[in-house]
């Protein structure tokens, strides 16, 4: 909640500045919310927690707690294969939901509100690509895997910590998938939770937060790119 509120405040501030520059309103909302929620809301909340926990900025502790290190050749391999794997996991989830159809809606979920706005103004997808790689992936992974999953891992076994962090990750996405049908919203949240599980497993296996951060950012960037090519 704290991250959401700080992200909202930052969004309003950035929107106000961009509107003064006469930037189109739809573009303003998309850019401002992406930057504010991921830098201030997610990243800022994560770093604030770590600073408060140590009563000051302790880089060695932060790096150790988050498991951040210079990527090796093996890490680069994790990133490349992990990015491909993210789409394999997505296709597998959609096939399973289509087969089981637990909500009577097939695999059709609600479209992310940011994607909907981008389809109306496709240039936003191009703006979103660097934001996804540089801000969204790192910001969300810093909070949900780096802080939430690591903190849960201090109390629970790693598999349970991964699962709980993925559920928190999905719950935070409820507002962007709100729609008329509960079933389609749950299908979409299931997608988010599944990807959250995947990122969490990669984090535990690789032992480097940069791995899920870059895979997450790359995944979102490719989604934006395919939507731009389709709707531009």
Average pLDDT per block of 10 residues along the chain, 232 residues long: 46 47 50 59 82 91 94 94 97 93 79 72 81 87 95 97 97 82 91 97 97 96 92 82
b/e burial code for range 30-67 (CB count within 10 A of at least 16 → b): bbbbbbbbbbbbbbbbbbebbeeeeeeeeeeebeebbb
- Residue 61 in domain: no
Residue 188 has a pLDDT of: 92
- Residue 87 in domain: yes
Residue 32 has a pLDDT of: 54
Select from 115, 132, 146 the least CA-distant residue to 45: 146
- Residue 65 in domain: no
- Residue 212 in domain: yes
- Residue 155 in domain: yes
- Residue 41 in domain: no
As for how many domains the chain has, the answer is 1
Domain housing 222: 70-231
- Residue 153 in domain: yes
Select from 115, 95, 87, 149 the least CA-distant residue to 224: 115
- Residue 17 in domain: no
What is residue 21's three-state secondary structure?
A: coil
Q: Which helix (H) or strand (E) holds 140?
A: helix 137-141
* Alpha-carbon span 194 to 143, nearest angstrom: 17
């Amino acid at each position: 909640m704290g991250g959401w509120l700080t992200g909202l405040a930052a969004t309003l501030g950035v929107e106000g500045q961009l509107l003064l520059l006469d930037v189109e309103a739809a573009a303003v909302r998309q850019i401002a919310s992406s930057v504010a929620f991921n830098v201030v809301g997610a990243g800022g909340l994560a770093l604030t927690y770590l600073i408060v926990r140590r009563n000051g900025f302790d880089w060695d502790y932060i790096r150790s707690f988050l498991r951040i290190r210079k990527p090796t050749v093996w890490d680069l391999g994790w990133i490349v294969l992990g990015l491909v794997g993210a789409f394999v996991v997505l296709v597998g989830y959609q096939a399973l939901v289509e087969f089981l159809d637990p909500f009577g809606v097939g695999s059709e979920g609600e479209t992310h509100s940011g994607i909907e706005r981008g389809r109306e103004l496709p240039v936003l997808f191009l703006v979103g690509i660097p934001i996804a790689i540089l801000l969204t992936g790192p910001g969300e992974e810093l909070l949900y895997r780096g802080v939430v999953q690591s903190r849960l891992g201090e109390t629970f076994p790693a598999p349970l910590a991964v699962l709980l962090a993925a559920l928190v990750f999905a719950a935070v996405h409820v507002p962007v998938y709100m729609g008329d049908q509960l079933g389609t919203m749950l299908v979409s949240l299931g997608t988010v939770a599944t990807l959250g599980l995947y990122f969490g497993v990669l984090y535990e296996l690789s032992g480097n937060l940069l791995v899920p951060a870059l895979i997450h950012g790359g995944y979102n960037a490719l989604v934006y790119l395919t939507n731009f090519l389709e709707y531009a």
